[in-house]
Amino acid sequence: MNLSRLVPASGKVRAGLIIAIFFVLLAAFGPLLTSYSPQASGTELLQPPSGTHWLGTTQTGQDVFAQFVYGARVSLGVGLVAGIISQIVSVLVGVIGGYFRGLSDDLLYILTAVFLVVPGMPLLIVLTGYLPSRGMVSVAFVIAITSWAGSARVLRAQTMSLRRREFVEAARATGESRTRIVFSEIMPNALPLIASGFLFSVIGAVLAEAGLSFLGLGSLTTTSWGSMLYFAQSAQAFLYGAWWWFVPPGLAIAVLGAGLALINFGIDEYSNPRLRTGKSRGRATRTSGPHAAALSTAGAAAAASGVDAPGTAPVLHEDGVGEVAGTEPSEGAAAAAQLRPIDVAGEPIIEVRNLKVDYPGIDRVVHAVDDVSITLHRGEILGLAGESGSGKSTLTNAITRLLRNPAQVTGGSITYHRTRARPGGSRGTDPGSAESIDLLGLSTEELRGYRWDEIAIVFQSAMNALNAVTSVGAQFDDVLRVHRPTMPAREREALARTMLEKVGIDSDRVSSYPHELSGGMKQRVAIAIALVLEPDVIIMDEPTTALDLLIQREVLDQVMALRDEYGFAIIFTTHDLSLLLEVSDSIAVMQRGRLVEYGPALEVYAEPRHPYTQALLASLADMGALV
Ligand SMILES: Nc1ncnc2c1ncn2[C@@H]1O[C@H](COP(=O)(O)OP(=O)(O)OP(=O)(O)O)[C@@H](O)[C@H]1O
């Protein structure tokens, strides 16, 4: 392990760490440096610092240095214990409430609101006044009780925002349990807030303890920085010019606070890969060297595997800008821009029959999917087109069982024809293992096995579908741990590397973070993750919309090549009918929840029956989008 990588790059963070470590060492070993007891009185009263008393003495002859180092233990101890308790409560209340919502969230939110409106210090004073004993732990506990609410509210808001993000949807779709989603998707993204909340709780608790002691509410038999200030103030040390008595504890509290605030920068830097500087960026740059060679290998592998894309196998460059071997890019794009021969002769794999999905509203019901019937065959690419709001996502979400409240399936059926043994991921062709599954009747547990193993999803905009704070390899791992729990870590990594190469990305990118990849690469990673369990069906929801045309072409060619290699079927959703005509075997066009056109792509192109499709094709022809 390279220890130098653990040293933060930022000078501010290093300074903060040095300060914090100094005080921790002072609290741990400081008492070994003095032979005086912090409480023992002496004969040298109110003496300034000297060789005998390094920080002078108090009015009753106590050694200030001894009080300072023993006091560091108490002040830091109270800060740490209170910070830990406070953050545990904040995380439980904020993350659980924000993620699970419902009644538990309502109750927790009311509790949070109550603690937020009651002023913290007066509450602290009242509660401390009733404490039977004012030991370090009980004071820390009371401080924690009065300080968790602000952080919990921020964490709840962050969790509510994160739970709707596409990478969380993707994790849900892969079958990750709710607990795992909370711990591996939500918490890492909330880490900066949790960590900064912890640091501020610590310094807040140190200050609160000092405040309580200063008011005479702390333990008067235990020395802390706060009690030092209390006794210094009671003895009017300021008036006597005995600065050595109150300056060390006051300064220590201020410097410790500044140090913890500086560390906060480091937490942001650590938890947000985007902010990492120096070494990690260097790593990203270095990988670009061997990458090109590996890509050529991937391209060669694709060619060797008999990829039968139009023209020849695409050779991809790392950033997604590439060319078709043997042709100029523009020629390659033009060569591929032709209608595919119709081949929908495979067995049916998904049959949607008379499906109806409604969204009940306050004054009306939206019939988002209205009596739709389609059949997806093994290996077929079914293009799903239609204007915004026509019901495409609702239909595909019904197939993947990812519909959200208030959606209600009010009629019809969705049948999945499984033709291979599960689980295990090995592609079998034993017709004896065929079975028909009523997807709408699957339990939550059964769904977990079905999603990703049988049907995978490439979400719209891979930028959001990938978790920004975990590496590419960890995102493959998330899927494999759930679906292949017995697979050893080394095999999981090897599989992730293989899949990356399959989509034309250097396998070393397994350790990259999403922000280190271009848009096209991210989309390819999303496709590779969708393919990792060799599903029978892939739902692609506008997978290339966010990409420029050339990269869109590259990614689509790659998908076609992989489809030919793996034989999965695709439901491809987009607004772009010209794109669908190019890549699809069959096309379904939706309008206001209804299927208005459905048939082989060539027929839809040659003889559009519905006025809506005719108008769409006419507008495409006007724009010169159709050849
Ligand atoms: N959660 C919801 N609550 C109420 N109505 C909804 C909800 N989600 C979608 N709808 C409605 O259902 C209809 C179909 O929406 P859907 O998102 O399926 O369309 P789409 O074709 O996928 O649109 P786009 O291409 O813009 O994603 C729309 O009228 C939409 O307003």
DSSP string, 179-240: HHIIIIIIHHHHHHHHHHHHHHHHHHHHHHHHHHHHTT-S-TTS--HHHHHHHHHHTTTTTT
pLDDT cut 90: percent of the chain above it: 36
Q: Which residue has the higher pLDDT, 568 or 4?
A: 568
pLDDT, residue 362, reads 74
Once rounded to an integer, what is the mean pLDDT over residues 603-624? 79
Nearest CA to ligand 1 atom 4: 359
| Peptide bond between residue 406 and the one before it cis (omega within 30 degrees of 0) | yes
Per the structure block, which two tokens stand in for 298? 């991937």
Q: Which tens digits make up the pLDDT trace of 137-179?
A: 888 999 999 999 999 998 998 898 888 787 888 888 777 888 8
Nearest residue to 218 (alpha-carbon basis) of 229, 232, 204: 229
Give the separation between CA 55 and CA 153, rounded to whole angstroms.
43
- Averaged confidence pLDDT in the chain: 80
Nearest CA to ligand 1 atom 14: 391
Q: Which tens digits make up the pLDDT trace of 558-586?
A: 888 888 888 899 999 987 777 888 888 89
Q: How far is the CA of 217 from the centre of ligand 1 (A)?
A: 60
Q: How far is the CA of 500 from the centre of ligand 1 (A)?
A: 33
CATH superfamily assigned to domain 348-622 = P-loop containing nucleotide triphosphate hydrolases (3.40.50.300)
- pTM higher than the cut 0.95: no
Question: DSSP state, 268?
Answer: H
CB 525, CB 462: distance < 8 Å: yes
Which residue of 169, 364, 390 sits with most ligand 1 atoms within 8 Å of its CB, as the best mutation to test the pocket?
A: 390
H/E run at residue 355? strand 348-360
Q: Which residue has the higher pLDDT, 481 or 519?
A: 481
Q: Which tens digits make up the pLDDT trace of 436-473?
A: 889 999 888 888 878 888 899 888 766 677 888 889 99
Tell me the pLDDT band of 297, cut-offs 50, 70 and 90: very low
- Residues forming a β-bridge with 594: 591
Q: Which tens digits make up the pLDDT trace of 28-41?
A: 999 999 999 998 98
Q: Which residue has the higher pLDDT, 519 or 276?
A: 519
Nearest CA to ligand 1 atom 3: 359
pLDDT, residue 489, reads 92
pLDDT, residue 6, reads 62
Lining ligand 1 with CB less than 6 A are 359, 366, 368, 386, 388-394, 406
Tell me the pLDDT band of 422, cut-offs 50, 70 and 90: low
ipTM: 0.96
Q: How far is the CA of 169 from the centre of ligand 1 (A)?
A: 17
Give the separation between CA 330 and CA 334, rounded to whole angstroms.
6
Give the separation between CA 598 and CA 590, rounded to whole angstroms.
9
Which residues are CB-neighbours of 124 under 8 A, at least 6 positions away?
142, 143, 146, 208, 211, 212
CB 537, CB 454: distance < 8 Å: yes
Q: 177 in helix, strand or coil?
A: coil
What's the fold here for domain 10-275?
A: MetI-like fold (1.10.3720)
Once rounded to an integer, what is the mean pLDDT over residues 181-208? 88
CA 28, 33, 38, 40 dihedral sign is positive
Which residues are CB-neighbours of 517 under 8 A, at least 6 positions away?
472, 509, 525
The domain spans of the chain are 10-275, 348-622
Q: How far is the CA of 595 from the centre of ligand 1 (A)?
A: 15
Per the structure block, which two tokens stand in for 347? 């067995």
Tell me the pLDDT band of 420, cut-offs 50, 70 and 90: low
Q: How far is the CA of 251 from the centre of ligand 1 (A)?
A: 59
Q: Which tens digits make up the pLDDT trace of 531-562?
A: 899 899 999 887 776 666 777 777 788 888 88
Say yes or no to pLDDT of 599 above 60.
Answer: yes
Given the CA of residue 593, which atom of ligand 1 is nearest to it? 14
Say yes or no to pLDDT of 315 above 60.
Answer: no
